[in-house]
Structure 1
């Protein structure tokens, strides 16, 4: 596997080794030993699977407060998404900045989203399936979010009128959002 640094300390784009022939392909989507060899030591405890029927479904920007913050390993198994992370770690040189990535069934890329980041994605193709591992369990009392269209972030989403959940329509901008992360260099 190839591990690519992003502009954020700790966030990594991962390109797994894919072995294909006339029958299809094989790849390891996760191997704890290979990840550890790359310095990615996370004990994942839960897998999540989301399905979106339409293009333009936007989920996010989500995170959990400490002590229930989650590192996520995200990927797409059908379709494609524009995946966005926002640095919420106070004291970080990239605090309040965002970066976007295309993750698709075709490119098989994965994104490691460390604790201290808000995460969201927008579907680019119909019938998109999004899978992710987390290193702590879902804790609704710690669940928080940031407005997808926060003018202070100016995220360049590929759509202007997304399909949102009721919950995602109500998230505050970053300047008003509760978050309790500190950058640990």
Structure 2
């Protein structure tokens, strides 16, 4: 398993080693100890989610209040998506930037996304199926979104006809979320994650 940090602090790409023969394939798609070594603390597994999306569906950009936030370990178990991580932490050196990683059922990469970062994806195939391991249970009053088509973010979604949920279509722009005080703060996120490392 290879774990490498992405350009946005708090995000990692995980590439598993696949062992195949004529019978099929086996791999370790999650290792708590290897991930903990890379990020500095174990992932507290509180909930596991799955989504299935048609081609051209865009979901996100979603994030949770910090504390406690919600760290995510995301992998694609069927089909393919372009997974996008957005730095929405006020005061971060990379605030407002994004990075994309293709997740699919061929290379079987995953991404780990720390508390305070925004997350979204675009389905590149029908029945694109994502698995999420998350550090906190769903909290509807503490979870928010940024409009995925916000021109200030200028995410290069690989579709000419993005399909959004009503919730995502009604989400505020990054500038509006910033003005309203909705966004997490970089130093608070860093302090929270540092607290996880010292427990």
TM-score normalised to structure 1 length: 0.94
| Counterpart secondary structure, 2:141 | helix
The answer to whether the Cα contact below 8 Å between 1:80 and 1:104 also exists between their aligned partners in 2 is yes
Would the aligned equivalents of 2:68 and 2:115 in 1 still touch at CA under 8 Å? no
Aligned pairs for 1:21-170 within 5 A:
21-38=21-38, 39-52=40-53, 54-170=54-170
- Residue 104 to residue 87, structure 1, CA distance change in 2 (3 Å): same
Q: 8 Å contact 2:84–2:100 — kept in the other structure?
A: yes
**Higher strand proportion (structure 1 or 2):** 1
CA RMSD of aligned residues (A): 1.4
CA offsets 1:41-61 (integer angstroms, 9 cap, x no match): 221211100111x21011111
Of 30-39 and 109-118, more deviation after overlay is shown by 30-39
1:43-95 CA distances to partner (integer Å, 9 max, x unpaired)?
1211100111x210111111111223111000000000011111012221101
- Structure 2 CA distance for aligned equivalents of residues 143 and 34 of structure 1: 28
Q: Which structure is higher in helix share?
A: 2
TM-superposed CA distance for 1:160, in Å, is 2.9
Alignment partner of 1:70: what SS? coil
Query: Which residue is equivalent to 1:182?
Result: 186
* Count of residues paired in the alignment: 184
Distance 1:61 1:36 in 2: 25
For structure 2, the 5+ residue unaligned runs are 192-199
C-alpha distance in structure 2 between counterparts of 1:84 and 1:66, whole Å:
20
